[in-house]
Structure 1
Amino acid sequence: MKYFFTLLIIALMSINLNAQSVNDYKYVIVPEEFDFLKSPDQYQVNSLTKFLFNKYGFEAYLKRDEKPFDNLTDPCKILYADVKGRATFIKTTLEVVLKDCNDQVIFKTSEGTSKDKEYKRAYHNALREAFYDIEALQYSYNPAGEVQDSQNPQNSTAVSPDAIEVNKKPTQQPPVIKEEVVDTADSQNETSQPSATTITYTSEDGFYKVMQSGTTITFYDDTKKIGVATIGNPETFDITTTDFSGKAFFLEGRLVIQRKIKGIAGVVEMIFTKQ
């Protein structure tokens, strides 16, 4: 019994150290393809991984993305993400691993699981469950470890908005970023079904839904209700959810939300289209 408690204390200390060390890193690189999948971004697992890292405060990029830190004086201030997975007839299991430039594990999540029989939904559900551990870290980049860009040290904390947009080269346009595009999420478990007078919008990344009934719009993250807003002025109105907040407006039949993300310059433009 004494040996068991000793191991438990060591394990807890190890978890605490990992949680602290993650804050020393600002950027996360997500590979184009994970070993357990058969093609790049199959089932859009890589895109979802990047999205979730950004959601919980990191600055994450797919390997193919243009990056603002190519000239870092210390490239070892970058974390490299990997997802380990296995799928059986009974369940799908995934875990997320973060390694440093020396291939040393900095943090590893517990396993997320799903018993869904449809592959894409199973992988997405298992990955979201694994990311509960990332969320629990309450990650906050430690500015004491700030590494400056060798070409522009005064702006080392700023991220080029155009560099974050996937599959697009940097331009001279104003700092507006569009989030990763992922197929529309399934809605079979939606807690609120649209009526005949309800208009349903889905974000381009497929992770958020909006249901508009009159001047009331309700936001959902997958099946979870995250906020309600009132359309006081259709030209622009404020929205606040548990996941994000910002200014919203309608444009050519689409709902556009411009929101700020911590650590990222400019605004992130979320586009919601009618289903």
Structure 2
Amino acid sequence: MIKILKMKKLSILILTICSVIAFGQKVSDYKYVSIPEKFQTFKNSFDLETFLANTLKGKKYVILQGDKLKWPSEAMGNSCSIINADVINDKTMLRNRVILQFKDCNGKTILESKGNSTIKEFEEGFQDALKQALIVVPIANPVAIVQNEVATPTNVSVTATLVTESTASKYSNGKLDLQKVQIDNNQFILVKPNSSLPFATFKATTKRDVFRVKLENGDSTIGYFENGNIVIEMLQANGEYSKEVFAGK
């Protein structure tokens, strides 16, 4: 029974990975995320707005809701420093499904991720589906974004990268099992099977197979491939670093 449940959770994770489309600029480039008071495609949104806000706060984003006059002056002075989040009701007869979207100040989609759940109860099922869709959202690592960005012309197609099942693989250090999810050519994450927060986010450096790594607790370090394994240098209490080796399974 436990094995069947694990297989179901893995299947849901793979379905989520297969349903991610990333466009150019990354969600992690942004510090501020605007979330509406109510998602428009739901008659009853089952508090998904709060669920989304709390999860993104855990990923180090600053959430903007409610009265805009109370928003930080930095955000008010540069609307393009804000990314707008939305959750769309994609329910079918058998599954609670959602589409999570992030759009920039010009209305261009930065990331779209689909999540679904076999849980039949609406509140728990929709929140579970949103949790699956949030797996691929990385920890915030904001960069300066210019106010006067030029909107993408409507007659110009946006190149999208579809993340396929083949980009997902398993790694373990003997105590912790993780899923490697390739976000794009220069970035991947290691994520726990039942978590929406990446255990570690890897970004490419100028040296082959060496990465800048941001851990789930916010610490920054480096990681690299070694003999087919993923190695992360972990800071110890004495200030020294140790190697944490995750072997491919």
- TM score, norm. by length of structure 1: 0.42
- Between the two structures, name the one with larger relative contact order (CA 8 Å, sep ≥ 6): 2
